[in-house]
Amino acid sequence: MTISVGDALTTLEEVVHSRMADANKTDSYVASLAAKGRKKIAEKVGEEAVETIIAALTEDDKALVGEASDLVFHLTILMADRGLSWADIAAELTRRHGTSGIAEKAARQS
């Protein structure tokens, strides 16, 4: 069975929302992290980003996939905490499609 990227992200998002709503913070990593607040969630995203970079530069593909998965997982928690979704990210990527990265960056600076 093959799962699509969209299905995987949607499922992850649903699980994160469900666990964030869980009152039992001791049984759910997501709930316990969310209970510590946005700053702690953001710190965890930063930690996972650094680990992803290290894996990209010094480890094999399996390690990179693992670290990138951790990064996406924690980013999903951060976005959920802000009330954002992967649909918001998809909409922004769609808006940018066909625009040069250089032009898009220049437009953000003005």
Confidence bin at 37 (pLDDT 50/70/90): very high
pLDDT score, position 6: 92
C-beta separation of 33 from 73 below 8 A: no
Half-sphere exposure of 78 (CA within 13 A, CB side): 16
Average pLDDT over residues 66-79: 98
- Which 8-state DSSP code applies to residue 37? -
User: What is the per-residue pLDDT for 110?
Assistant: 63
Could you tell me what percent of the chain has a pLDDT over 90? 78
Q: What is the pTM of this model?
A: 0.88
**Which of 1, 12, 7 minimizes the C-alpha distance to 77?**
12
**Residue listed under structure tokens 């699509």:** 4
Q: For 5-109, which CATH class?
A: mainly alpha
Q: What integer is the mean pLDDT of 41-59?
A: 98
